[in-house]
């Protein structure tokens, strides 16, 4: 499977997960500079999806830059085996949505 397809499938998986947990989720066309926008009852999340830990630091840097001045919380979602893990791009520590 190509990296693009792997990434696309992971984005869909993250979207499904968030919707099942009560979020309203929008996919950004072209996935640049973010992949998903997720709305909860009280927050907006800008989400960059990574199918693996590869390139997370670069993705975090771009996501932080994109989120400056926005009233939204930047988050990286990556696949760790069969699990979806959410990270704060500033610290790369795990967060719970």
Q: Which of 30, 32, 95 shows the shortest CA–CA distance to 66?
A: 32
The pTM assigned to this predicted structure is 0.89
Each domain of the chain, given as residue ranges in start order, spans 3-87
CATH 3.40.1350.10 matches 3-87: yes
pLDDT tens digits for 17-66?
A: 999 999 999 998 775 779 999 999 999 999 999 887 878 888 898 899 98
What pLDDT score was predicted for residue 37?
95
pLDDT, average across residues 79-90: 93
CB-CB contact of 51 with 38 (8 Å): no
Count of H-run helices and E-run strands, the chain? 2, 5
Res. 14: pLDDT tops 70: yes
């Amino acid at each position: 499977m190509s990296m693009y397809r792997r990434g696309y499938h992971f984005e869909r998986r993250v979207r499904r997960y968030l919707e099942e947990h009560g979020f309203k989720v929008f996919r950004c066309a072209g996935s640049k500079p973010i992949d998903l926008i997720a709305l909860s009852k009280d927050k907006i999340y800008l989400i960059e999806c990574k199918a693996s830990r590869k390139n997370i630091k670069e993705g975090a840097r771009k996501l932080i830059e994109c989120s400056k001045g926005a009233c939204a919380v930047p988050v990286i979602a990556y696949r760790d085996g069969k699990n979806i893990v959410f990270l704060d791009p500033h610290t790369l520590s795990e967060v719970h949505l």
